[in-house]
Amino acid sequence: MAKFKRDKNERVLSIRDLNISFKTNFGTVRAIRGVRLDLFQGETIAIVGESGSGKSVTVKTMMGILDSNGMIDSGSIMYKCKDKDGVEHEYDLVKMSQKDIRYKLCGKHIAMVFQDPMTSLDPTMQIGKQIMEPILEHEEVSKKEAADRALQLLDEVGISEPAKTFRQYPHELSGGMRQRVVIAIAMACDPDILICDEPTTALDVTIQAKILEKIKEIQLKKNISVIYITHDLGVVAKVADYVAVMYAGRIVEKGNINEVFYDPRHPYTWGLLSSMPDVDTDSDRLFAIPGTPPNLMEEIKGDAFAPRNPYALKIDYREEPPMYDVGGQHRVASWLCDPNAPKVELPEELKVRIAKMKKEAGVQ
């Protein structure tokens, strides 16, 4: 695959200083704390992090499906698109009401594939009808045309007998087939952005590989942008051009996929990469990041990762690190990247692993 070049393409989405909090009975949870992210046309970005790190909340805001106790405190999400006549529009998704987003953008411009294909399909409705629904809703076409489009979509997502599947119900299909149907529904109105929220977590590895290859194929054909949300770094390596690692509501490291995987700078990314089981090593103990993620209900002082970080400096407990530019598109929020910081070496095991990965890939 040709390497994706950011500067050659147009920016479709830009998130700036986004802050989101949730009001609960026990207090306010600051789920997103100053997220800044760009998405370009035709690009695939992956947002990685543990559960509760705020990755799902970020994309839910784009879709206008934030839970009712969620509050956008500040920030903007600018989204650029062209309508049918080629007139360019720019929307600030933060300022739009949820209803407006749902009517103007969802499905038509931004579509989403959810984690569990059983709960995101209507069990009482035939597959074909479910795919036709968004087409009939958003476009002025006859039922016949919509049905033809649905059949074609089923064929595109790799279902072998579209006409038969068209009349089936979700419970008659296997998990992999169901997820293909969900992708077909998401693609029904030719969106510009496809958001995949853990699209393969509920599936097993053999089917996962096929689904990921299918999404990639569709993406190349239609030149759309894809946002993946996942905690599986293997999946990220397979699909993404650009990675953002989230921890406790902040992006701690982001950059081109090769920059982040071959030259990780943040201790949390080190931990994530080391805890991936590697098929080729003989070590019989897995590295585990000690401790648990912080409670976002309490105010976080300094770097949220500091208590779990063996490399934490004194300043990590006092002040939040800024985003450091470490060359290329690589940005890291860690005091270790400060020019005055002591030089810290990568953990030995990770160093060996990265050296081996580089050798396999043939890069220096």
Binding site for other proteins (CB under 8 A): 1, 50-51, 174-175, 203-210, 213, 231-238, 240, 257-258, 261-262, 271-273, 275-279, 284-289, 292, 357, 360-363
- Select 72 or 237, whichever has its Cβ closest to other proteins: 237
Supply the minimum distance, in Å, between the C-beta of residue 44 and other proteins. 11
Other Cβ atoms within 10 Å of 325 Cβ, number: 11
Query: Closest distance between other proteins and the C-beta of residue 239, in Å?
Result: 8
- Judged by beta carbon, residue 105 or residue 236, the one nearer other proteins is 236
At its nearest, how many Å lie between other proteins and the CB of residue 100?
A: 35
Residue 148 C-beta: closest distance to other proteins, Å: 29
> Of the two residues 99 and 285, which places its CB atom closer to other proteins in the complex?
285
**Closer residue to other proteins (CB): 62 or 273:** 273
Per the CB < 8 A criterion, the answer to whether 39 and 53 are in contact is: no
Identify which of residues 101 and 202 has a Cβ nearer to other proteins in the complex: 202
Nearer to other proteins, 299 or 360 (CB): 360
Q: How far is the CB of 293 from other proteins (least distance, A)?
A: 8
In angstroms, what is the minimal distance from the CB of 320 to other proteins? Answer: 22
